[in-house]
Amino acid sequence: MTNTYGLRMLLIGLGWLLMGHLPASAQAKAELNASSAPAAPRQVAQPLAVPMPADTGAFPLSYCTSLPRLSVDDWEQDYAKYERLLTPEIRRTQLGLSYLQGNVQVWWCQPSASPHAQLDTLTRVANAAQLEGKWKSVLARTIVHRDSAVIREKKFYRSARLKASDEQVDVTLADGRITLLARHGATAPLEKLGRKKYALVNGRYLLVYGLAKGAGAVSQVGLDPAGRLVLHSCAVTERKVRGQYLTYETVLNQTVFERQP
């Protein structure tokens, strides 16, 4: 079965919502309606006993991704250091949803500019002109990063789960506009999915918008040492029971592009 979740995440991260898919606000209402359901089972990530099979080669699961250190004090400190990179312009786009699911307090945001799995700051783009041109994806995948803290034991656990994809995405950035084309599989035709305005904010955030920037959507964007374009579009969910445990999950859609002639 073709995995379309990664492409949907990318589209939401770029501010496009395809016909036939629920918009983010409708998804939020659907999750909110679940608040009257029985309490969800405790969702605590398990430590990785061995490296995951996909975590090899040119693009390991940790490629261009920074995660907090796994101790209670260090985790909060590492997460907070990215707050200084959020400009007021980016903060205005962040609308989360908080609700109760049984005795579990849930907070959800998509697309999120503040995931715990952050794009490495070494990829920051010095000049917006570096983004301009035609780019073709060499990697498109979804990685679910989950960190869990057992409060009384003062222990953290971490897991990463890969959702492979056969998606191919072409992006053109020119004259302040971003154009996206995508297909599933090598033989399918490319389909134009949309064209929007964009702005590079603080060398790190790709803000895609229509009439107003405040209603835009944010992805993290960067350039790796080889000059490849790296795009992260994220959804985050935090679940906690006060005094017992906390789970922080980032659903990271990662797309890596190479520049085309």
* 81-118 per-position pLDDT tens digit: 999 999 999 999 998 999 999 999 999 999 999 999 99
Q: Are 217 and 110 in contact (CB under 8 A)?
A: no
- Whether 44 is in a domain gets the answer no
Give the pTM: 0.81
pLDDT value for 189: 85
- Whether 35 is in a domain gets the answer no
Give the confidence band of 26 by pLDDT, cuts at 50, 70, 90: very low
- Whether 39 is in a domain gets the answer no
pLDDT value for 33: 38
Q: Are 183 and 167 in contact (CB under 8 A)?
A: yes
- Whether 168 is in a domain gets the answer yes
Burial of 253 (0-12, 13-18, 19+ CB in 10 A): buried
Q: Which of 46-55, 66-75, 77-86, 88-97 has the lowest mean pLDDT?
A: 46-55
**Mean pLDDT comparison of 13-27, 112-126, 144-158, 181-195, highest-scoring range:** 112-126
What is the span of the domain harbouring residue 127?
5-19+59-260
Provide the number of structural domains found in the chain: 1
- Whether 27 is in a domain gets the answer no
pLDDT value for 73: 80
Give the confidence band of 9 by pLDDT, cuts at 50, 70, 90: low
- Whether 147 is in a domain gets the answer yes
The pLDDT > 70 percentage for the chain reads 78
Q: Dihedrals φ, ψ of 90, to 5°?
A: -75, -40
Q: Which residues contact 117 (CB under 8 A, 6 or more apart)?
A: 65, 66, 67, 143, 145, 234, 250, 252
Q: Which residues contact 48 (CB under 8 A, 6 or more apart)?
A: 158, 159, 160
- Whether 25 is in a domain gets the answer no
pLDDT value for 191: 86
- Whether 40 is in a domain gets the answer no
